[in-house]
Structure 1
Amino acid sequence: MDLPNFCMLTRKMGRIRSMHKRKRLQPERPIVTRAHSLTSSQQEFEKLTIFDAVETASVDDARFLLANGADLAALEPSTGRNALHLLAFCSETFRLRLEMLRFLILEAHLDVNAVDAHGDPPLFMFAACGHLELMKTLIEYGANWTLTNKKEQNVLHRACDVDQVEVCGYLHEKFGSAADPDGKLDRTLHVVNLSGRSPLHIVAEKGFVECANQILSAANDEASKCLLSQRDRAGRTPLQVAIVHGHSDLVALLLKQDDVGANYCDQLQRFPVHLAVDAIHGADVISLLASHGAVLNAVDERGDTALHWAALSGRLAVIQVLLNLGADPSVRNSDWELPVHVGASYGHLECVRVLLDAHKQSPGISSDDDILILEAELEQHQASGKSYYCYKAPSPTASMIRSSVASSSFSGDANNKVEYWDELHQEVQLVEESGNFSSEDEDFLDHDEYEEDEEF
């Protein structure tokens, strides 16, 4: 049996079942008022409800229930949804669903703005399911598109969450220009939720390129810049959210709309280039950011550059891309660490080698003695940290470092730095062995992504 005939037969069987339910509920004799007089067969009758009628989009069943005094405004116990909410999930033909929708509004007088347990009106359900024509009918009969649920999401949030491109386009065409005659950002349609996220943030998190393009193309240049500069509760723009979730195609689209966002930072002063280090396709995203003017040597609140982050995570490919694009390996953070120090501390041998080679060509390294000092620091990093990796200095004179540095004019600084790193890593080792980290220690070591609130 082919699929169309199977679907037709399934609907026919559903209507037959509904007809038998109605027949069983029709009284054949006067109603008995005493409960104990009911027979067991009568008690076993399956009860027809408005939810059954909505499931099959049977207006006949709904009218039968209305004629027999049934409560058509009944709510589903688990979700608090009425028949209008559940009609959004009906799989019958459009004609049957439209007839049922009109019946529920015009004859059963159900509230088109009734909310369920989550605060969602029926319009949200139809938007999330992509029923555009039924949405238009709901709005025609008084559905309020400005309502928000308990998470302060509006209908555009719900449509963006499931990539309903046509619904997004309709909402912008219908309400964006009407509510905003000057062409600026419509704060009613682009309201932020409890996490401070706009609909564009939701699209950026999910990676829906077409939906994002629909939102941005419906806005003029000024409104588009406002959308792209909106920040959530963590201070992140849609571009930064897209980077964190590894959506490189969407990153390219957002940068094309406004490349100024390549140098926006969040509340922790983390720039897009920092967030791209640990992201999926991080090397490609960093190349995109650099082509749109991103500052590769930007520092976060601890003074760490993207190279520090990459050295911490052992992202060799990212380090190579950053160096090729002109990132400076001689920038020190607030703890006076170079990226190569961070890589050595965490045992990323290949990263250390690449960074040390870059140091030899860096303007920040003025002489061979500076290279020797740096190699001494790295040797102490590895020795005091007791890494699983054994760092081998690329310089042939590294084995003579202790004697050569002592007679050098830089020997005092070198010895002080060696003692400093030795003492620091002994303390870190003791803390790691004890397993007792203070909040200050955790802040020092933490470069992971902050935990984002669950939206849905």
Structure 2
Amino acid sequence: MGDAKALASLLQRGVDPDTVDAQGNTLLILAAREGQTAALEALLKYRVRIDYRNPAGDSALMLAVLRGHDDAARALLKAGAQINHEGWAPLHYAAFEGRESMVETLLSAGADVNIKAPNLATPLMIAARNGHIEVVRRLLAVPATDLNALNDAGLAADVWALQNANTDIAELIQAERKRRGLPAPAIRVTIE
């Protein structure tokens, strides 16, 4: 509920700061998910498992990013929350939701621009698919962004954008590929 004072009192009396609910969410994850920055900061004083991931694979930072709680996400980053890891990562969630300022914050904090999700999608692919043109522009501005990466369906970011009627985004990616002198990616087809 965001009552940081009551939470601090409970923590001082010995409540385990890594307590989990029935769904496997720690107090830190709950605070981050709900954008309760004061409660989150109270928990961080007790050496909580900052990078703990719930059974769905979400960390406190991931849920703060997903829900658009920038202050909570910045507090977690300042406390050393892990940015790059296996599975879905915070930059995937920022790209998925089109959170431009959080994309910038995560990139500045060292997020891997080409980190692969379980479906092999990169943040660029996810932003392109979902129609977040400003996030796509920001990711294209990073020279290391892989324009020819393919997801598990064999689609590059521009093709995935086209499949979702995001023609303006597909054109941006194709123009950047041309500017960099890159060939279009080879089509990958799996025959079973």
RMSD over equivalenced CA pairs, Å: 2.7
Larger radius of gyration: 1
- Unmatched tracts of structure 2, length 5 or more: 150-154
User: Is residue 347 from structure 1 mapped to residue 118 from structure 2 by the alignment?
Assistant: no
- Between the aligned partners of 1:249 and 1:400, the Cα distance in structure 2 is 46
- Between the aligned partners of 2:27 and 2:139, the Cα distance in structure 1 is 32
Note if contact 1:308-1:342 (Cα within 8 Å) is conserved in structure 2: yes
Note if contact 1:344-1:352 (Cα within 8 Å) is conserved in structure 2: yes
Name the aligned partner's letter for residue 160 of structure 2: H
1:268 maps to 56
2:33 maps to 244
- Give runs of aligned pairs for residues 49-60 of structure 1, distance below 5 A: none
More helix by share: 1
Greater relative contact order (CA < 8 Å, ≥ 6 in sequence): 2
User: Is residue 231 from structure 1 mapped to residue 35 from structure 2 by the alignment?
Assistant: no
SS at match of 2:88: coil
1:316 maps to 100
- Between the aligned partners of 1:332 and 1:229, the Cα distance in structure 2 is 29
- Between the aligned partners of 2:17 and 2:89, the Cα distance in structure 1 is 24
Note if contact 1:298-1:306 (Cα within 8 Å) is conserved in structure 2: no
Q: 1:396 to 1:231 in 2, by over 3 A?
A: closer
- Between the aligned partners of 1:390 and 1:236, the Cα distance in structure 2 is 39
Note if contact 1:283-1:321 (Cα within 8 Å) is conserved in structure 2: no
- Between the aligned partners of 2:84 and 2:103, the Cα distance in structure 1 is 12
Shift of the alpha carbon at 1:399? Answer: 5.3
Note if contact 1:229-1:237 (Cα within 8 Å) is conserved in structure 2: yes
- Between the aligned partners of 1:286 and 1:315, the Cα distance in structure 2 is 12
2:4 maps to 209
Runs (4+) of structure 1 moved beyond 3 Å? 394-401
Q: What TM-score does the superposition give when structure 1 sets the normalisation length?
A: 0.37
SS at match of 2:187: helix
1:390 maps to 168
1:151-204, Cα deviation, whole Å (9 max, x unpaired) = xxxxxxxxxxxxxxxxxxxxxxxxxxxxxxxxxxxxxxxxxxxxxxxxxxxxxx
Shift of the alpha carbon at 1:381? Answer: 2.1
1:257 maps to 46
- Give runs of aligned pairs for residues 271-290 of structure 1, distance below 5 A: 271-280=59-68, 282-290=69-77
Shift of the alpha carbon at 1:335? Answer: 1.4
Q: What TM-score does the superposition give when structure 2 sets the normalisation length?
A: 0.83
User: Is residue 380 from structure 1 mapped to residue 153 from structure 2 by the alignment?
Assistant: no
SS at match of 1:312: helix
- Give runs of aligned pairs for residues 55-454 of structure 1, distance below 5 A: 206-219=1-14, 224=15, 227-258=16-47, 260-280=48-68, 282-299=69-86, 303-358=87-142, 360=143, 362=144, 371=147, 373=148, 377-387=156-166, 390-391=168-169, 392-393=171-172, 398=177, 405=183, 414-417=185-188
1:73-99, Cα deviation, whole Å (9 max, x unpaired) = xxxxxxxxxxxxxxxxxxxxxxxxxxx
